[in-house]
Amino acid sequence: MQKFIRTLGLAMMAVAIAGCGLVYTPDVQQGNLLDKKNVDQLQPGLTKRQVLVLLGSPSVSSPFNQNRWDYVSTFSHRGGAPTKRTLTLTFNNDTLVRTEGDFFAGDATQQLKDAKKYNANYPVDETQGDKSKTKDDNKESGGFGVGVKGSTDDDTKK
């Protein structure tokens, strides 16, 4: 009996120690989450209020230099090394004069992996839908061309 308890205890300890490596570590996104189409709308001459509406409040707004706004974001993929992205906006008399930063710069290989992960490799020049190939397919499968008892809409109007 004691040998059974000892074996059971060792098995439980082995499972507990092995389980330490199986703990899920989520992705961590901190800071501003900016949309590329909003950042693309930035142009010199916008007021601080217009920029605030487009991008939201900056992560860092220095009390010593009110003409500089910093949008900072860090992303850590499952406990890996964090990547830091910054976008710096410079104003003069409450008017945007310059944007600096690499907020949307990314590793090309990582972007290709993400595109494959989300199955984003569809053909660009696709002109047909995914339901049927010809008009006759709809008639046989109960599509829009079928009326009562298999007759088409043209047959019922006669």
Where do the domains of the chain lie, and which CATH numbers do they carry?
A: 26-121 (3.30.1450.10)
- What does the pLDDT read at residue 134? 54
Q: Are 87 and 39 in contact (CB under 8 A)?
A: yes
The reported pLDDT for the residue numbered 148 is 53
pLDDT of residue 97: 93
Nearest to 131 by CA among 144, 118, 116, 147: 144
Residue 106's pLDDT is 59
pTM here is 0.53
Alpha-carbon gap, residue 78 to 26, rounded angstroms: 5
Q: How far apart are CA 112 and CA 108, in angstroms?
A: 6
User: What pLDDT does residue 114 have?
Assistant: 58
With CA atoms as reference, report the closest residue to 71 among 105, 42, 100: 100
User: Which run of H or of E encompasses 40?
Assistant: helix 36-40
Per-residue pLDDT of the chain in tens (158 residues, 90 and over written 9): 888 888 988 888 877 776 666 677 788 888 888 888 888 888 999 999 999 999 999 988 888 888 999 999 888 887 778 888 889 999 999 999 999 887 776 555 665 565 565 554 445 455 555 554 555 555 555 555 555 555 555 554 44
pLDDT at res. 58: 92
* CA 49 from centroid of its chain's CA atoms: 27
pLDDT on residue 45: 92
| Confidence at residue 120, expressed as pLDDT on a 0 to 100 scale | 46
